Amino acid sequence: MKIKHLLTLAALSVSLHINPALGQDNITIVAPTSEAADGLDLQAVSELFAETKNLEDFEKALNDPDEGLNNLDLDGNGEVDYIRLVEEVANDAHLIILQAAIGPDEFQDVATIEVEKSGDNYTMQVHGNVLIYGENYYYHPTHVHIHTWPIITWIFRPAYRPYHSRFYFGFYPRWWHPFHPLHHTVYRNRVVRYTGRNTFVAKHVSRVHTINRFNYKPHTSKKVTNRVTVRHNGRTTTVKKTKKVTHHRNGNTTVKRTKKVTTKKNGRKKTVKKTRVKKKR
């Protein structure tokens, strides 16, 4: 019997080697698709949300350099971007938007926290912006008793007013100032105190339909879309676009568009630069 059992295991091992999909039916692998996502771990954000008493404190802790949760530099200027919170409320549904201020009147939505109440049941999820985290990137609580969290009690209290951060690009809290982002390895070590917990789990499926109750259109900045970095099968591709417009004295205008694509794989870096010049009268 023992020999038969070993032969069965060996056959199963060969079968999985030939067709790996047979052994992956119950495995969910969820990973962000851009390097920008390395600057803000949504599991850490989720854990922080669960232990904070209100949204003002949550915004402060999220941006606190000593906490080290926010390491985002979306516009690539060498400084971490301040993330403000903007909340929308519709009946028993709350949509909390994490928004990076990266220029005067210019914002990039990073993620949303969606909470809804139906009778005595509460559900929530943290949803990463598709540009930064890829399609269908969610974090869900692993248990259903979120109504006991202080912040849930706070936002569902009577006469509650939606929270809207008063800070924006160039106007920050006194305790905050721009600082340089950490190397992603150092950042991972700093947030392990949050990511080592199991209050939340990453999934590809949405459990909350709060978003359908709002006319929500994510803010997207060209400073971010022009320098998107995507990872796939061990290869990192960064696309950076620039545009230069020159007005000449004779009334002509020259538009110079440059597209630089940098690919990095197995330690090797390759850059392809394309330039297009168009003259207008």
Interval 135-159: pLDDT, tens: 899 999 998 789 999 999 999 999 9
Q: What are 183-202's pLDDT values in tens digits?
A: 989 999 999 999 999 899 99
pLDDT (mean) for 102-118:
93
**DSSP H/E element including 44:** helix 42-51
Residues in the chain: 281
Please compute the mean of the pLDDT values over residues 231-255 and round it to a whole number: 54
Strand spans (E) along 53-196: 82-90, 93-103, 106-118, 121-128, 138-141
Q: What is the pLDDT of residue 244?
A: 45
Band (100; pLDDT cuts 50, 70, 90): very high
Measured from the Cβ of residue 262, the count of other Cβ atoms closer than 10 Å reads: 15
| pLDDT score recorded for residue 109 | 96
Taking Cα atoms as reference points, which of 99, 92, 113, 144 lies closest to residue 46? 113
CA 34, chain centre distance (Å): 9
The predicted pLDDT at position 15 comes to 39
Q: pTM surpassing 0.85?
A: no
pLDDT tens-digit map of 13-53: 433 343 333 333 333 344 454 567 789 999 999 999 999 99
